[in-house]
Amino acid sequence: MSEELLADLKKRMAGSLDALQREFKSIRTGRVSTDILDGVRVEAYGNDHMPLNQLASVSVLDARTLGVQVWDREQVKAVERGISESGLGLNPVVEGTVMRIIIPDISEERRKELLKVASKHAENSRISVRNIRRDGMEAIKRKEKDKEISEDEQKRFSAQIQKLTDDFIKQTDEAFAAKEKDIMRV
């Protein structure tokens, strides 16, 4: 039973780390990546905000340019508006059903702002992992109190939960350090 709890905690902590990685992908760095547009939503076909990848394909054209191939000619304006209003500071240039998006260089001030955002995401991930640890510790203590496990087992499982937590906090810190390096690279 307690092994199942450990597996569940590990799965939940891994989910927190995955969410952090997705957040980091949406933070623009000096390199061009199609991941920048992952969070873009477009109001199309009467649906309220469809993901861009359901309306167009995104590709890297060169070191500073993304290409967006819209599949339905009728949705070009909607896709253009979605990208422009996404808050990413991007302005697509429309050529038929293809859009070119030139990614401007990032100023030092903007890099520092992006670093603060990344730091906030990393801290939220750490908090999430610690909350999962707290849930696990409470469950183990409850099991001991209900005499489902012995005190020695409770201590052993508590140590395993703490080790699991430390591992995921370390992975979070490593992911943030890599993102920080990526953001600050000129």
Q: What is the pLDDT of residues 31-74, one digit of tens each?
A: 677 777 777 888 888 777 888 888 888 888 887 888 888 888 88
Q: What per-residue confidence (pLDDT) applies to 7?
A: 92
Span 34-102: which CATH code? 3.30.1360.40
- Total-model pTM: 0.70
Residue ranges, comma separated, of all CATH 1.10.132.20 domains in the chain are 2-26+107-184
Q: Residue 83: CB partners within 8 Å, gap ≥ 6?
A: 37, 40, 52, 68, 90, 92, 99, 101
* Inter-residue contact 184 to 111 (CB < 8 Å): yes
Instruction: Look at residue 1 and tell me whether its pLDDT is greater than 70.
Output: no
Q: Identify the H or E element spanning 110.
A: helix 108-145
Q: What per-residue confidence (pLDDT) applies to 30?
A: 64
Mean confidence (pLDDT) of the chain: 86
The fold of the 2-26+107-184 domain, in CATH, is Topoisomerase I; Chain A, domain 4 (1.10.132)
As a whole number of Å, the CA-based R_g of the chain is: 22
